[in-house]
Chain A
Amino acid sequence: MVGIAGWGAYVPAYRVSAEEIARHWGADPKVPISLGVKEKSVAGPDEDSVTIAWEAAMNALARAQIEPSEVGMVFIGSESKPYAVKPSATIIADALGIAPETMAVDAEFACRAASEGMRHALSMVENGTIRHALIIGSDTAQGAPGDVLEYTAASGGAAFVISNENVVANFIDAYTYVTDTPDFWRRDGSQYPNHGEGFTGEPAYFHHLVSAIKHLMDKHSLKPSDITYFVPHQPNARFPLKLAKMLGFKKEQVVLGLTTADIGNTYNASAFMGMTRVLDNASPGDLILMAPFGSGAGADAYLFEATDRIEEAKGLARKTQEYFDRRKEIDYATYLRYRGKIKKLVR
């Protein structure tokens, strides 16, 4: 049966606190508190979405215990590609020893591009077109200096190997819901995204996720209490808890996967990151509902059931929490430098 054979995450070591960002701008410190994100992960000066993807993928391949050369598709979703034109997927495929006999895809759909890849991969592996697929969500998320996004836009990656072999979580079903909704965008050539302020909530995040999740749960006659862990997209730590309440989930079904509360929103790795921490802790038979969302807008709802193999796979790579615990706090000026927002003018 097709499903997830390996999972892995990567989070850079650096953290900038919301308090430090607010202090720099003379902003009301209640704003970041209301978002529920105390600090966010920041990529170091030699990191980008490719290097982040590489390490998350290494961890996923280690847990799947498959030969890299047998991977038939490398699919990366990111909205912070190092190149506007030149695929990240080929760099990753070559560096991991997967190339040349593979498909390699870079996709863009705000925060759910990688999830689109997961849907493709599940179908392609199930029908036998490819043997294994590597799906990666990786971002060094952009937030313009002074924008409220700056409190949460973080860096990190998460990856999954989709296969019929060595499965740790069987795929039960998925459903996708998309509309043209202008809640968040970045024009070609523009450095930072724009967003529709309050419009990002009800018509975008909540409407699409509720629609996708309700459809899937109704189809399988599931009640919220039937689900062990609920892992939605998490632009901040407040929206997922409100969404959970709207759908009838309890807080304890959400908190393990609510990784944005620890490191901020890693965009394409947002729900994926939560899923990796859930798999690090799940037991055989646990039912997991993962629901990524991307602006523009669309949501996916997936049902997975953990298998017996999950126990032996846990120790084959570094756990997500270990990356969270490796942290070095930096000040706002260092954050600006590491993200290339300020440059030396003289040598």
Chain B
Amino acid sequence: MEVSPSVVWRNKPYRYRLEVRRCPKCGRAFREEVEVCPKCNERTERVRMAGRGKLLSWAKVCQVPEGFEDFSPLYFGLVELEDGSRIIARLTDVLEEPKIGMEMEAVLRKVRADGSTGLIEYAIFFRPAF
């Protein structure tokens, strides 16, 4: 089984809603359920990151990993969100070559499907705003 039920289930807050745990003292954000900041020993708070931002950099991958053939080519982007966070995410609906600085918006998309009988993984991607 390529797509693990427990991993899909555990990653839902970040992958479905861009929710992270953030340390109120140092501001570090965690995608995983880290309840106490390992640096400050402060209890982290659950926050939802912004769904819009600007493209800082991008890459196109044509030699895709096994299981991603249906989605080739893959685009990845470094996006600076409106709340100041910077994240790396899959890009989608790349209808023409991306441009640095372009406005991006979050959308839910299919990451991959585990064959024809396994689980389907979903996550937030970013696409050029229109």
Contact = CB atoms under 8 A, between A and B. Distances in A.
Interface of A: 13, 44-48, 50-51, 54-55, 82-83, 91, 94-95, 97, 322, 326, 328, 337, 340, 343-344, 347
Contacts of B12: 94
Q: Which of B90, B108, B122, B125 has the most CB of A within 10 A?
A: B108
A13 B95 CA distance: 8
A47 B70 contact: no
A46 B71 contact: yes
Contacts of A83: 120
Contact of B109 (A47, A82, A326, A347): A47
Contact of A44 (B66, B90, B93, B130): B93
A95 B16 contact: yes
A340 B93 contact: no
Contacts of B69: 343-344, 347
A44 B92 contact: yes
B71 A326 contact: no
A44 B17 CA distance: 21
Interface of B: 12, 16-17, 66, 69-71, 90, 92-93, 95, 107-111, 120, 122, 125, 130
Contact of A326 (B110, B120, B125, B130): B130
Contacts of B130: 322, 326
B63 to A, nearest CB: 9
A91 B122 contact: yes
B70 A50 contact: no
A337 B72 CA distance: 11
Contact of A50 (B17, B111, B122, B125): B122
B96 to A, nearest CB: 9
B109 A51 contact: yes
B122 A95 contact: yes
Given A95-B17, A97-B17, A344-B70, 13 more contacts: A13-B95, A44-B93, A45-B70, A46-B125, A47-B110, A48-B110, A51-B107, A51-B109, A51-B122, A91-B122, A94-B16, A337-B70, A347-B69
Contacts of A46: 71, 90, 92, 109-111, 125
B122 A347 contact: no
Given A13-B95, A83-B120, A51 B110 contact: yes
A343 B70 contact: yes
A51 B122 CA distance: 8
Contacts of A97: 17
Contacts of B95: 13, 328
Contacts of B109: 46-47, 51
22 contacts: A13-B93, A44-B92, A44-B93, A45-B70, A46-B109, A46-B111, A46-B125, A47-B109, A50-B110, A51-B108, A51-B110, A51-B122, A54-B107, A54-B108, A55-B108, A82-B110, A91-B122, A94-B16, A95-B16, A326-B130, A337-B70, A343-B69
